[in-house]
Amino acid sequence: MYKGKCLKIGIGFATGRKSFQKVLRSYIHNWKESGLVDNNKILLNIFVAYDLTYNKTNKKDYINMHPELAENIDGAIYIGKRDINEEIENLIKENIINHTEAGKIFGKGYASQRNAVLYSAIKNDMDYLIFLDDDEYPVAVTNTQKNAVWGGQHVLSTHIKNIGQADLTHGYHCGYISPIPFVEYNDTMTETDFRSFIEAISNDILNWDNIKTVMNNGGVTYADTTILVSNKTKEVQEVNHAKFISGGNLGINLTDPHRVFPFYNPPGARGEDTFLSTCLSERKVLKVPCYTFHDGFSTYNHLLEGVLPIRLKFIKADNEQIVRRFYNACIGWIRYKPLLLYITQQHCYEEKIEKIRQQLKEVLPGICTYFGLQEFINILAELEKYNNNVKKHYEEFIETQRIWVKMMENLSKD
């Protein structure tokens, strides 16, 4: 499986959660159990880009790895704001990029954090980089026995096994993938109203058919047993000018840095994985048979302590925290919807935006009342704001790729 030269594997985290060390501990034990730690042909190196402002954490929450855990990996690079600024100054000093260009690659947000990890992994000569999310765990859950059945997943080794034959590898997700809570329809918000709302803010992956299935399971996505036992890969096909991936459970082949794209998202938006998806027409993307459990509402941290529930909770919109999380997700989605449409359906962009505008005008008053949060009405204003700036954001999207090419050429020269 791992014949030939030693493989240098980067494992990337873009994090801001205090629970990071618990997640890392679980993954390291997983790598040891799968045989990767003791394989002298595999060098495991973690790259952690941390944000101290996200949850008011401090540096120690990320760098204070227990010595017994540290013995199981070959290297660790921690990337904070100061480290990024130092790298920027070096690039400017060498006349590779200027301050404005640096801001587009290493500015604020998830895309910039992922770019910091990606750049550092390439600079440190990693062969492959596997991104793992700090709210996803290496387990799969099914409900074939009417109770939750859990199984460990060898996420890292599955990516390593397949990434040599692809530009990117992308695994599966189960658990609470979507922040959309379970809703019970009534006269204030009918199923037709909620469907119209979801269709207005969604993309080709987050669509009504997917959401309805998940909601019927109480907001839970269960692992497909046929995938768990098949051990087969399949090539991701292009849908509407995108080969859809997600930012976690994602492998990137770094052996030819010129084939690697940077991440991008509009300011204040998400979607960095979706926008990367639109760049992959001429890249081979493999779907690989490994799951991670997404703890989207941070209610299952005890999984990291070995406590496996026999039933997973319905996530209902019955408390402010869940409603607020759903609202924040909706804002993030609507902020990147204009650019996604502009990239993938420019020929009918204005028509699509007008349809979304009308849908939101019709359903948002009921959405506000149903969830008891008048701020949902802001979604329409955010649509208009990002629609007005869509050409600017598209230029930034293209410019980010141009700047990245210069940086890759410099690393290749070095």
Cβ neighbours of residue 289 under 8 Å, at least 6 residues apart?
158, 171, 172, 227, 228, 230, 231, 232, 233
pLDDT digits 0-9 by tens, 54-67: 888 999 999 999 99
| Structural domain includes residue 400 | yes
- Tallying the residues shown for the chain, one arrives at 414
Report the C-alpha gap between 20 and 275 in whole angstroms.
26
Contact 235, 286 (CB under 8 A): yes
What DSSP string runs through 118-131?
Answer: HHHHHHTT-SEEEE
Kindly report, residue by residue over 231-251, the tens digit of the pLDDT.
899 999 998 899 999 999 999
- Report the alpha-carbon distance of residue 206 to residue 223 in Å, rounded: 17
Q: Please indicate, yes or no, if residue 145 is contained in any of the structural domains.
A: yes
- Rounded CA gap, 205 and 190, in Å? 23
How far apart, in whole angstroms, are the C-alpha atoms of residue 214 and residue 175? Answer: 10
394 domain residue, yes or no:
yes
**Is it the case that residue 371 has pLDDT exceeding 60?**
yes
Residue showing tokens 């990996």: 73
Q: Give the mean model confidence (pLDDT) for residues 4-33.
A: 93
CB 198 within 8 A of CB 207: yes
1 falls within a domain:
no
Between CA 44 and CA 31 the distance in angstroms is 9
In single-letter form, the type of residue at position 18 comes to K
- Give the chain's largest Cα–Cα span: 65
Confidence of residue 217 (pLDDT cuts 50, 70, 90): confident
For residue 202, give its domain range. 7-413
- Residue 221 is given by DSSP the state B
Helix (H, G, I), strand (E, B) or coil at 331: helix
Who's near 167: CB < 8 A, 6+ residues apart?
Answer: 252, 253, 259, 280, 283, 284, 285
> Is the confidence at residue 409, as pLDDT, over 60?
yes
Which residues make Cβ contacts (< 8 Å) with residue 128, sequence separation at least 6? 7, 8, 9, 10, 159, 160, 163, 251, 252, 253, 254, 255
Higher pLDDT, 390 or 304: 390
- Tally the domains of the chain: 1
What share of the chain has pLDDT > 90, as a percent? 77
Least confident of 25-29, 145-149, 198-202: 145-149
Q: For position 1, what pLDDT does the model report? A: 44
Band the pLDDT of 414: cuts 50, 70, 90. Answer: low
- Lowest model confidence (mean pLDDT) among 254-258, 309-313, 367-371, 379-383: 309-313
Question: DSSP label at 306?
Answer: T
Does residue 277 belong to any structural domain of this protein? yes
In a domain, 2, yes or no: no
Long-range contacts of 314-318 (CB under 8 A, 24+ apart): 314/182, 314/218, 314/219, 315/176, 315/181, 315/182, 315/218, 315/219, 316/181, 316/182, 316/183, 317/181, 317/182, 317/183, 317/370, 317/371
Of 213 and 228, the one with more pLDDT:
228
Interatomic CA distance for residues 244 and 330, integer angstroms: 19
- Quote the CA–CA distance of 181 and 129 in Å, as a whole number: 33
- Structure confidence by residue, pLDDT tens digits, 78-109: 999 999 999 999 999 999 999 999 999 999 88
Contact status, residue 135 vs residue 14, Cβ threshold 8 Å: no
Q: Which helix (H) or strand (E) holds 116?
A: helix 110-123
Q: CA angle 205-249-159, nearest 5°?
A: 125
What average pLDDT does the segment 316-342 reach?
Answer: 92
